[in-house]
A and B are shown apart, each in its own frame.
Chain A
């Protein structure tokens, strides 16, 4: 079976991000989401330093691309903030978390309109199953006696 390189990388991201689902929960069992986010962000510094020390980078990038990449970090982190806010402002985790996993729909819309990506029928089926899977998998049964969830 031939696995395309892009798929291999995507599966690596899936595994790493999947493990963060556990470590993040272990973290926020002990400290606030704010302190947890702070140390999450601090950990990005050594990663960046390792990259700067070991990978030859081509800094000749258009200013527009440079700032869009920076904005990527801000958008992503801001999304984490708003997801915490949803949970703290009365959202039940069993509804909020599966709901936010619908975010790939926005990406697909933008990718088709602005990046002119085109999908085959098989890919569309796979994507629909993937989004359904993420929504179902992220849905934990509410704990007994925990009315807030």
Chain B
């Protein structure tokens, strides 16, 4: 994802389709399917965030930006706290541990991202560059988790390295 908490690479299938979901799905047949609308909304939200971060970085430093970003998460935490899906999980302690680590890494990444924008990086360059984070994810999967690369990932790997080179010129 962008900064912060992105789309999980792959979530475990644990959602049971309820009757109300099915009713909703049938009423939403016309136009964009719900998943596409949510995907486009994600593109919009993260895209606006990238430009907004640059606009703000012209006026405040990276550290204050990160503190204020944290304040912005509060309303979302308030929403999540009401979720009935906070209970359960196969190994809660381990899941929470990795979520916490994700937050520490994500927040530190944020500071570096804001720094890049403050010291003169253009949003139109820095955002596409940092959005290549799946490059690192794939390399770790390859090195540590011994996962095989798909053909498209191999092509993506080459393009990513070429992109970093071109953007460094």
What residues make up the interface of A, taking CB atoms closer than 8 Å to B?
1, 3-48, 51-52, 55, 57-59, 61-62, 65-66, 68-91, 93, 96-97, 99-112, 114-115, 117, 119, 122-123, 125-127, 129-141, 146, 148-149
What residues make up the interface of B, taking CB atoms closer than 8 Å to A?
1-15, 25, 33-36, 38-39, 41-56, 59-61, 63-73, 75-77, 79-81, 83, 85-86, 88-92, 94-113, 115-117, 119-141, 144-145, 150, 152-153, 155-157, 159-160, 162-169
Q: Report how far A102 CA is from B36 CA in the complex, Å.
A: 13
Q: Which one of A17, A65, A87 contacts B11 once the chains associate, using CB atoms below 8 Å?
A: A87
CB-based contact B155/A136 at 8 Å: yes
List residues of chain A with CB within 8 A of the CB of B167: 7, 123, 126-127, 130
How many inter-chain contacts with C-beta < 8 Å in the A-B complex? 527
* Given A76-B3, A93-B10, A134-B156, CB of A99 within 8 Å of CB of B98: no
List residues of chain B with CB within 8 A of the CB of A14: 109, 129-130, 132-133, 135-136
CB-based contact A72/B69 at 8 Å: yes
CB-based contact B73/A44 at 8 Å: yes
Main secondary structure of the interface of A (DSSP, over half): helix
CB-based contact A41/B76 at 8 Å: yes
Q: Report how far A27 CA is from B11 CA in the complex, Å.
A: 10
Rounded to whole Å, the gap between the CB of A93 and the closest CB of chain B is 5
Q: List 24 A–B pairs whose Cβ atoms lie within 8 Å, in order of A's numbering.
A: A1-B168, A7-B168, A8-B116, A9-B119, A9-B121, A23-B99, A26-B98, A40-B103, A41-B103, A72-B69, A75-B48, A87-B35, A97-B7, A103-B43, A104-B50, A106-B44, A106-B48, A107-B127, A111-B123, A115-B51, A119-B124, A123-B125, A131-B131, A137-B153
CB-based contact A138/B108 at 8 Å: no
CB-based contact A76/B133 at 8 Å: no
CB-based contact B105/A20 at 8 Å: yes
Q: Which residue of A lies closest to B3 (CB)?
A: A76
List residues of chain B with CB within 8 A of the CB of A4: 120, 168
Q: Which one of B33, B76, B134 contacts A134 once the chains associate, using CB atoms below 8 Å?
A: B134
Rounded to whole Å, the gap between the CB of B81 and the closest CB of chain A is 7
* Given A27-B102, A76-B2, A79-B45, CB of A130 within 8 Å of CB of B77: no
* Given A20-B106, A44-B70, CB of A71 within 8 Å of CB of B52: yes
CB-based contact A130/B168 at 8 Å: no
Q: Report how far A22 CA is from B138 CA in the complex, Å.
A: 9
Q: Which one of A5, A27, A32, A75 contacts B98 once the chains associate, using CB atoms below 8 Å?
A: A27
Q: Which residue of B lies closest to A44 (CB)?
A: B70
CB-based contact B103/A83 at 8 Å: no
Indicate the member of A27, A34, A42, A93 with the most B CB atoms within 10 Å: A27
CB-based contact A62/B59 at 8 Å: yes
CB-based contact A83/B166 at 8 Å: no
List residues of chain B with CB within 8 A of the CB of A101: 131, 134
